[in-house]
Structure 1
């Protein structure tokens, strides 16, 4: 088989799987999260987005879009989204370098094998308040630092959202709201692509709410 034909076959299959995954999304769960984010903004609550790797990029993108992109020119007294992308590189590496002891010796829920397991908890705890939202992103749903972040937020009386793939993992069982792209394990490209579709759906609806409220 020529490479061009192989690429065409692969591309067609990938697009078919992506479309199928989008069609299977639970619209009701997306709507609930959209409303949850808007109400948090209206009530002056913080929203924390976090994840690893590609999910880390999505978390930063979400924080950018909700923090800056929802501002409407000329809208007086608009309330802004108080968003945090837990992506400060100096803080992340310092927290990871400190090791697990700050978490294993304190009153922190979850499992800590090394410092990296607490990089999101360590950032959130400086700002977190009851009623805030912790929005964890993980294709597997099993990333320890994401799971620990969700558990910590629940302990603090916050709402939790998990955007996951594969079989949902531990995050699916923990979070109050779940945005679930069910796939075979290891389909990172498929999951992250559909996660970006959900991201932009949430963001575009947030803009619509700002324009009509």
Structure 2
């Protein structure tokens, strides 16, 4: 007796297909360009500071690990230092918490700032102003700016040197797909032959 084929789950099908569409639209030339720019940063003994909020902060932390461990590049993320970050938020406010952290680290023209963000920050809407202020500082210090963002890219796209804007067609899935594909992009980078020095365990 034949069994009836299982019906596709509409939600999962939509989510996965939207993710696939977004992946197919990723600008691969820009990924390669970011890899080349990061190689230049490494060659001049610069550092990369990964910036993100919420789920993107978790991605920033993971990226720091991969770039340090696989590529031997000095990297940091302000959100990894919980004590300092919360002290700065408590005393000075959220908007300047990351930028003041970077001032102590003496962000300079040899360095890079890499933003993971769904919206990319907006001065007009006053959204993710912590990211906006980091980017203003980076521009003043002439540090390179990279990003993986979605929607219209926000302030990150406006001022960044090389920014990948993820084109997501399902409004309800913008945040989860954006944060998922931030991971895909940086894994492309850390396994690029220009950057990867150390092999993965498995």
Q: Report the TM-score range of the alignment, normalised by the length of the smaller protein.
A: 0.7 to 0.9
Q: Which has the higher contact order (CA 8 A, sep 6+)?
A: 2
CA–CA distance in structure 1, aligned partners of residues 130 and 171 of structure 2: 19
- Over 3 Å counting, the alpha-carbon distance change for 1:90 and 1:206 in structure 2 is farther
- Alpha-carbon shift at residue 209 of structure 1 (Å): 4.6
**Aligned-partner SS, 2:180:** helix
CA–CA distance in structure 2, aligned partners of residues 130 and 170 of structure 1: 20
For these two proteins, the number of residue pairs brought into alignment is: 183
| 1:102-117 correspondence runs (5 A) | 115-117=93-95
CA–CA distance in structure 1, aligned partners of residues 18 and 171 of structure 2: 14
**Aligned-partner SS, 1:129:** coil
**Aligned-partner SS, 1:125:** helix
- Alpha-carbon shift at residue 130 of structure 1 (Å): 1.8
CA–CA distance in structure 1, aligned partners of residues 48 and 193 of structure 2: 14
| 1:59-78 correspondence runs (5 A) | 59-70=60-71
In structure 1, which of residues 170, 182, 191 is the aligned counterpart of residue 155 of structure 2? 170
**Does 2:157 align with 1:179?**
no
- Alpha-carbon shift at residue 158 of structure 1 (Å): 0.7
Gaps of 5+ in 2: 1-5, 122-127
CA deviations 1:101-141 (Å, max 9, x no partner) are xxxxxxxxxxxxxx101121111112212221011111011
CA–CA distance in structure 2, aligned partners of residues 158 and 185 of structure 1: 33
1:130–1:156 Cα contact (<8 Å) kept: yes
TM-score, with length taken from structure 1? 0.80
Residue in 1 aligned with 2:78? 86
- The Cα RMSD (Å) is 1.9
